[in-house]
Amino acid sequence: MKIQDLLNKKVMLLDLQATTKEAAIDEMINSLVDNGVVTDFDVFKAGIMAREAQTSTGLGDGIAMPHSKNAAVKEATVLFAKSNKGVDYESLDGQPTDLFFMIAAPEGANDTHLAALAELSKYLMQDGFADRLRQVTSADEVIAAFNIGEEEAQAEEAKKAQAVKEAASSDKPLIVAVTACTTGIAHTYMAEESLIKTGEEMGVNVRVETNGASGVGTPLTAEEINKAVGVIVAADKAVETARFNGKKLISKPVAAGIRQPQELIQNILDGKAEVFHAENAGAAQESSEKLSLGGAFYKHLMSGVSQMLPFVIGGGIMIALAFLLDQIMGVPKEQLSQLGSYHEIAAQFKAIGGAAFGFMLPVLAGYIAYSIAEKPGLVSGFVAGAIASSGAAFGGVPFAAGGKATLALAGVSSGFLGALVGGFLAGGVILVLRKLLAGIPRALEGIRSILLLPLLGVFATGFLMLAVNIPMAAINTGLNNFLSSLSGSSAVLLGLLVGGMMAVDMGGPVNKAAYVFGTGTLAATVTSGGSVVMAAVMAAGMVPPLAVFVATLLFKDKFTEEERNSGLTNIVMGLSFITEGAIPFGAADPARAIPSFIVGSALTGALVGMAGIKLMAPHGGIFVIALTSNALLYLLFILIGAVVSGILFGFLRKPLDK
């Protein structure tokens, strides 16, 4: 891809007038709209702002690259804009921004925007390139600058390839490095450039492998790794590290590769890095990030939950549809106990959903353990989850003694809580076993990884779970009985609590905790019509985005035109149970927005609990409304919460400065 092919002269802004971030974004989008590149201002802006809500695209050094792959884009385009005043763009370095590249890619353009970002980054890291752009006075000069940059880039690539060859025979110390950011774009290559240049200044050859959007660039060879005095991994995502087994390795976020290259290189040269063992990759990463106990718990829990949710959503909705089909087709009163499997087609849906649902607990426990101890933890975690699901325990394992009919003995499932405990238990068991087996000769490492860790891990975890399941099954049974019996004031209080939690951080840890709790109750209640807790959680999660729309509609004089337009997009997000749609408003005015959202969400959750409305699906918003026990009342409660939150937010909001 050539950036010159995407640069549109018509949309360029060589004297951007805006001085604030949102105003600059609006000015650039207006240029795209006016020139027929973008068909809908609001839709495209929503995509841009959603990306900005993740992390600022202001990369520092006066450069910003806002981007969106969006249905409102007609053709892939890169808009270049230059500000002569400087814009407060909330850049990563806190400095004003004066060079902008807004990348607009059509919905079906694969990863055009990512490729454009990666290509732009290579140009912008060239010495003097950004300064050259700051001097342009016409669109033709912009294109000419990129043409010159292309020639320089080709020369630089040739130089880099030659340096790679020379490094193999050089007497200078060799350090190998891997850089990778979440999207594999700018920071990946900025870290590469920073490490190489700093290495040259320090008399060290630094050989960098980039894990970018377009794949792995200049892969490290076995010869280079063997020769290297150490390894630097500057990455915000997982990279292949097994090949560095036995080498001194430092693992840091990609930002460290950009801002602290000298420190990283010096630590390798001074021998301060620890020797890396492939089987301890997970522990090494955790250590480098210096996670708190709570941070580590949340990280491992979310690793399991993120892998579990597709099974819950897919299986749960299939089971719910089985009940819905039987309801539509009709089931005699005397056969209501067979609801969901009375008709053959419904039974087929239920069988498929049950198969997916059955993986929920093993996957949860398995990937919690995987996050703690990597691959050896996976098998022990799956076993722990399966035992939690089956309820197997000392005194609850079916067996036959001398022909005595004891095979009917069945354990009581410890459910979600048992799988959660089992996952952490399995991960911990593997970590302990690693320490106990650390003295095994290096020649037997293969046996340790392939035979001993899986075998001993399953053995220890399995028997520990037979003991753990006894109290966990009792707790789970008691909790389910309590939840099943909730009515009146108890249900109101529970709905109030989980509802309020959904609006605290709108997609963050508190929101996720409430959601995970709701999905945990679904497994035990789906056969009885669904979960009141799950219904309260989803209804409350729909409130904040809808409240944004209500506030922007009723208090127009307190919101800019752009904010009012953004409010419209929140209708779709709210109805789809995407709470994150309200984040930009919450982040911009947290003291007023978040308490307002909490009030409305808590009210909706309490109303759902009071009415005892049940839900059989873990996600879907308005699209699974038929799977609630009272659709009309459910919608009414969501509307009430949205209106209350919207009025409160609008009332508290400060008037716009005239």
Q: Which residues are catalytic?
A: 67, 181
Amino acid identity of 380?
S
CA pair distance 368, 423, nearest whole angstrom: 5
| Alpha-helical regions (H) of 555-589 | 561-575, 583-588
With H, G, I as helix, E, B as strand and everything else as coil, classify residue 366: helix
With H, G, I as helix, E, B as strand and everything else as coil, classify residue 556: helix
Nearest CA to 165 out of 229, 221, 215 is that of 221
CA pair distance 49, 28, nearest whole angstrom: 13
Beta bridge partners, 404, equal 401
Radius of gyration of the chain (CA): 29
- How many degrees, rounded to 5, is the angle at CA 11 between CA 5 and CA 12? 85
Sign of the Cα torsion 202, 206, 211, 212 reads positive
Distance of CA 312 to the CA centre of its chain: 17
With H, G, I as helix, E, B as strand and everything else as coil, classify residue 239: coil
- What are the backbone dihedrals phi and psi of residue 250, each rounded to the nearest 5 degrees, phi first? -115, 125
Left, alpha or beta for 86 (phi > 0: left; psi -120 to 50: alpha)? Answer: left
CA pair distance 257, 265, nearest whole angstrom: 10
Q: Measure the N-to-C terminal CA separation of the chain; round to a whole number of Å.
A: 46
CA pair distance 391, 571, nearest whole angstrom: 43
Nearest CA to 357 out of 329, 326, 322, 395 is that of 322
Write the CB contacts of 582 (distance below 8 Å, at least 6 apart in sequence): 506, 544, 545, 547, 548, 570, 573, 593, 597
- How many degrees, rounded to 5, is the angle at CA 215 between CA 209 and CA 216? 20
CB 87 within 8 A of CB 19: yes
- How many degrees, rounded to 5, is the angle at CA 266 between CA 263 and CA 267? 85
CB 24 within 8 A of CB 100: yes
Supply 230's token pair. Answer: 């150490």
Write the CB contacts of 140 (distance below 8 Å, at least 6 apart in sequence): 9
H or E stretch at 211: strand 205-212
H or E stretch at 177: strand 174-180
Write the CB contacts of 208 (distance below 8 Å, at least 6 apart in sequence): 176, 177, 178, 179, 191, 192, 195, 196, 218
H or E stretch at 216: strand 215-217
Q: What helix, strand, coil percent values describe the chain, rounded to 5?
A: 65, 10, 25
Supply 445's token pair. Answer: 């490492």
CA pair distance 377, 574, nearest whole angstrom: 38
CA pair distance 21, 208, nearest whole angstrom: 34
Beta bridge partners, 60, equal 63
Extended strands (E) in 25-173: 58-60, 63-64, 67-70, 77-87, 97-106
CB 644 within 8 A of CB 604: no
